[in-house]
Amino acid sequence: GNSVTQMEGPVTLSEEAFLTINCTYTATGYPSLFWYVQYPGEGLQLLLKATKADDKGSNKGFEATYRKETTSFHLEKGSVQVSDSAVYFCALRRSGNTPLVFGKGTRLSVIA
């Protein structure tokens, strides 16, 4: 079946450090891939997405590249800020109308 595996948290970084959160997936066909972010007390917000192999999604300094050969969609940011502290969810969707399949989420804490 379809599934998403992301690195266990929590991840604690100092401000301006480099961030990588690993995400790999198992899916039939060519899913779309997403990163959602959940700030404290809020709902899930789309951070970025990629819909085909080698696409790079980017937003707010975050990037992730759809790697079909390694079935990965790792999230990166060159310099994190305290305001990036949140839970990050990797997700896939098989096709337009199908539901999202989420990973377990990775909690990021950035300290000043």
Partner 1 sequence: EPEVTQTPSHQVTQMGQEVILRCVPISNHLYFYWYRQILGQKVEFLVSFYNNEISEKSEIFDDQFSVERPDGSNFTLKIRSTKLEDSAMYFCASRPLAGGTDTQYFGPGTRLTVL
Site for partner 1, rule CB under 8 A: 32, 34, 36, 41-46, 49, 51, 89, 91, 96-105
Q: Which of 34, 33, 35 is nearest to 53 (CA)?
A: 33
Phi then psi for residue 69, to 5 deg, are -70, -30
Least separation in angstroms between CB 86 and partner 1? 14
Whichever of 28 and 97 has its CB closer to partner 1, that residue is 97
Least separation in angstroms between CB 93 and partner 1? 8
Least separation in angstroms between CB 63 and partner 1? 18
Whichever of 11 and 17 has its CB closer to partner 1, that residue is 11
Whichever of 48 and 110 has its CB closer to partner 1, that residue is 48
Least separation in angstroms between CB 104 and partner 1? 5
Q: How far apart are CA 42 and CA 112, in angstroms?
A: 22
Q: How far apart are CA 77 and CA 56, in angstroms?
A: 13
Q: How far apart are CA 33 and CA 12, in angstroms?
A: 25
Whichever of 17 and 24 has its CB closer to partner 1, that residue is 24
